[in-house]
C-alpha cells in the first residue's frame, strides 16, 4: 500500500493527466481500499451482505468518479 | 434457523459491535455523496478545479496517507495482540497509532494554516469549498477516531479487555479503518487526479 501511495504521489508530482493516468490512479484506489476492507477491517469471510455493502460502496464511488473524469477528459 | 439467530451469527462474524457498522455505513454514505458531488461539480468547472488543485501541497497529502495507513496497521497489530492476551503490547500499538494520528493532525493543521493565512477560505471558489469542507470533515473524523482509541487505551489499562472479550478494541479499530478508507479515496481525488 505504501508503494501504491508513492505511485499516486509520483503521478501528481510529475503532473500526469489524461485518461490512462486517471484510470491508473482509480485502480490504485480500488486495490488499496480492497486491502483495507478485506485485511484491516477484517471483512474477509464475513457474510456476503456486509461485504456487498462495503465493496458496493467502493465500486459505486470509483465508477462514478471514473465516468465524470472520462467525460471531462473527452 | 430463525431470523434472529441468523442475525446473531452475522453479528458475531463482523469485528466489533454491530452498531458501529451501521454508523460506519452512514458515514461512508455521506462521504460517498460528497465525492460524487465533487466529481460532478468538477465536471462543470474543469479548468478551475485543475488550476487550484495544483496549489495543494501534494507532499503533505502523501505523507498523511502514509501516516494513516501506518496507523491502521498499528491498530491491526493491537487487535492481534489482545487476541493473544498480550495487553501491554496491545496498548503500545494503540499508542503508536495515536502518534501517527497526531502526526496527521499536525500536518493537516499546517496545511489549513498555510491556506487560511493567505486569505483562502471556504468561499474563495468552488474548488476550495470542496477541498476545505471534505478535508475538514475528515479531519474531525480523525479526531473522533483518536478520542475513541484514547478511551480504549484507558479501558485496556483497567484490564477490561482480554483474548476472550475485546469487542471494544475491534469496534474502535473498525472505525479507525473507515477513517483511513475515506482518505484513500479523498487524497487522489482532491489532490492528484486531473
SS3 B87: helix
How close, in Å, is residue B158 to chain A by CA atoms? 25
- Which tens digits make up the pLDDT trace of B115-171? 999 999 999 999 999 999 999 999 999 999 999 999 999 999 999 999 999 999 999
B165: enclosing H helix or E strand: none
Q: Which of A5, A41, A61 sits opposite B185 (nearest CB)?
A: A61
- Residue B122, domain CATH: 1.20.120.80
Does residue B48 belong to the interface with chain A, where contact is any CB pair within 8 Å? no
ipTM: 0.94
Please work out, in degrees rounded to the nearest 5, the angle formed at the alpha carbon of residue B148 by the alpha carbons of A37 and B56: 65
Domain count within chain B: 1
CA distances (Å), origin B119, targets A7, B114, B123, B128, B156: 32, 9, 10, 11, 44
Grid coordinates belonging to B95: 499508542
User: Which DSSP letter does residue B96 get?
Assistant: H
Q: What's the rounded Cα separation, in Å, for the pair B181 and A29?
A: 9
pLDDT digit string (tens) for chain A, length 74 residues: 888 989 888 888 888 888 999 999 999 999 999 999 999 999 988 989 999 999 999 999 999 999 999 998 87
Q: Which chain A residue has the Cα nearest residue B64?
A: A5
Task: Answer whether B64's CB lies under 8 Å from B169's CB.
Answer: no
Grid coordinates belonging to B97: 497509532
Domain that residue B52 falls in? 24-192
Chain A CB contacts of B177 under 8 Å are 36, 40-41
Annotated domain spans of chain A: 2-73
Q: What's the rounded Cα separation, in Å, for the pair B34 and A11?
A: 24
Q: Is B14 left (phi over 0), alpha (psi -120 to 50) or beta?
A: beta
Is B185 inside a domain boundary? yes
Contact at CB, B13 and A60, closer than 8 angstroms: no
Amino acid at each position: 500500500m505504501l508503494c501504491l501511495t508513492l505511485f499516486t504521489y509520483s503521478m501528481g508530482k510529475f503532473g500526469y493527466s489524461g485518461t490512462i493516468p486517471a484510470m491508473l490512479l482509480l485502480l490504485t484506489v480500488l486495490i488499496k481500499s480492497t486491502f483495507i476492507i478485506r485485511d484491516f477491517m477484517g471483512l474477509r469471510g464475513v457474510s456476503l451482505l456486509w461485504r456487498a455493502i462495503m465493496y458496493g460502496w467502493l465500486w459505486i464511488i470509483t465508477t462514478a468518479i471514473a465516468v465524470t473524469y472520462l467525460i471531462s477528459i473527452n | 434457523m430463525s431470523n434472529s439467530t441468523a442475525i446473531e451469527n452475522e453479528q458475531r462474524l463482523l469485528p466489533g459491535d454491530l452498531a458501529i457498522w451501521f454508523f460506519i455505513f452512514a458515514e461512508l454514505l455521506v462521504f460517498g455523496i460528497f465525492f460524487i458531488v465533487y466529481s460532478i461539480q468538477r465536471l462543470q468547472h474543469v479548468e478551475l478545479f485543475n488550476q487550484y488543485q495544483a496549489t495543494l501541497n501534494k507532499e503533505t497529502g502523501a505523507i498523511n496517507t502514509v501516516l494513516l495507513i501506518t496507523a491502521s496497521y498499528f491498530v491491526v497489530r493491537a487487535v492481534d495482540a489482545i487476541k493473544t492476551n498480550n495487553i501491554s503490547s496491545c496498548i503500545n500499538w494503540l499508542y503508536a497509532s495515536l502518534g501517527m494520528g497526531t502526526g496527521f493532525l499536525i500536518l493537516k493543521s499546517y496545511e489549513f494554516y498555510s491556506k487560511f493565512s493567505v486569505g483562502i477560505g471556504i468561499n474563495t471558489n468552488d474548488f476550495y469549498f470542496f477541498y476545505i469542507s471534505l478535508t475538514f470533515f475528515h479531519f474531525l473524523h480523525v479526531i473522533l477516531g483518536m478520542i475513541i482509541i484514547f478511551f480504549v487505551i484507558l479501558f485496556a489499562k483497567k484490564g477490561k479487555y482480554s483474548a476472550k472479550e475485546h469487542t471494544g478494541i475491534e469496534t474502535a479499530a473498525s472505525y479507525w479503518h473507515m477513517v483511513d478508507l475515506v482518505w484513500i479515496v479523498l487524497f487522489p481525488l482532491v489532490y492528484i487526479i486531473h
